[in-house]
Amino acid sequence: MASCGQSGEEAVPSPSPSPLDLCSVPLIALSFYVRKQLALFLNPKCPVAADWRELAEHMGFTYLEIKNYERMDNPTGRLLDDWQIKHGSSVGKLLELLKKIEREDILGDLLPAIHECCIRYLNKPLQVASVDSSGPRSSVDPSGGRPEYFDAFICYCQADMEFVHEMIRQLEQTDHRLKLCVFDRDVLPGSCIWTITSELIEKRCRRMVAVISDDYLVSDDCDFQTKFALSLSPGAQDKRLIPVKYKHIQREFPSILRHITICDYTNPSTKSWFWKRLAKALSQP
């Protein structure tokens, strides 16, 4: 496997990216499924194979950091989330480290799925001339053909659609007059999901609201959208993500959102000003 530090002539495009190509793919490209499989391989302590601890050492984490990860239910998942924001991390580098710790079994089982994630990530254009829409809020201005811009892209699962409708009523159809981008309403069927969501999140929407639920936590689409939004503003300082929890969840809250203040609809003491607070956050320049 070629090292991430090598360089060479541009290769002819092929169905699967080469290892060198993968060094330019950030770790956010890996889906929830791939991360879960990596955890199944690396979380158990095995006397005859390296686990997540040895991987963490090669990633540059300190002894104290590794000891802290040992207390967690899914140390591999947390490790990947923390490493992906470090300089030099990439899918190609991860594969290189897995080979270095002699976990070819993981490479043999997961490489096709990892390649599929990277192809999907690399093939998404970041600029699209227009986004079709049949909903009440078109992504293209019909008068001049110019793209319409939104206050927020709503990241949600179908199971949470009732709360999304309530969000539309509270934020669009009141004095707040915000413009929300709701995929099922604002984008025509048949469009490429990865192309359009990437374009909308990066170019057309000032913020992204993630509707957190148990269904959200196992959704590949929501996982991609969330990580893509965070990758555009490291540390979530500039743009981007506002997590909203509207009901109690059974699963572990995603570690990649642990540094971001959440809007909690389930908290009785703050529910009375929930919508006003969310609208203010979305209205800020």
pLDDT tens by residue, 181-216? 998 888 766 666 777 888 888 888 989 999 999 999
To which residue do tokens 């009732």 refer?
Answer: 162
**Higher-scoring residue by pLDDT: 243, 22:** 243
CA torsion 48-49-51-54 (nearest 10°) is 100
**Looking at the whole model, is its pTM more than 0.85?**
no
> Residue 234 has what pLDDT?
54
The residue extents of the domains of the chain are 19-122, 150-283
Q: How far apart are CA 20 and CA 6, in angstroms?
A: 8
pLDDT of residue 21: 67
Tens digit of each residue's pLDDT (9 = 90 or more) over 128-153: 333 443 333 434 443 344 567 899 99
Range from 91-95, 153-157, 229-233 carrying the lowest mean pLDDT: 229-233
pLDDT band of residue 102 (cuts 50, 70, 90) is very high
Neighbours of 197 (CB within 10 A): 25
User: CA-based Rg of the chain, rounded to a whole angstrom?
Assistant: 20
Tokens linked to 102: 């002699």
Question: Higher pLDDT residue, 240 or 80?
Answer: 80
- Quick: pLDDT tens for 9-61: 444 444 444 444 677 788 878 887 888 899 999 999 888 889 999 999 999 99
Task: Give the pLDDT score at 233.
Answer: 61
Contact 109, 37 (CB under 8 A): yes
Percentage of the chain exceeding pLDDT 90: 38
164-183 pLDDT, tens digit per residue, is 999 999 999 888 989 999 98
**What does pLDDT average to over the chain?**
80
CATH of domain 19-122: 1.10.533.10
Residue 208, beta-bridge partner list: 153, 241
Q: Do the bridges between strand 150-155 and strand 205-212 make them parallel or antiparallel, or are there none, so unpaired? A: parallel
* Strand partners for 150: 205
CATH topology of domain 150-283: Rossmann fold (3.40.50)
Structure tokens at 43: 């979380």
User: What φ, ψ does residue 205 adopt, rounded to 5°?
Assistant: -120, 130
C-alpha distances out from residue 172 to 51, 74, 168, Å: 49, 39, 5
Token look-up 């209205």 returns 283
Confidence at residue 203, expressed as pLDDT on a 0 to 100 scale = 85
Give the pLDDT score at 142.
Answer: 35
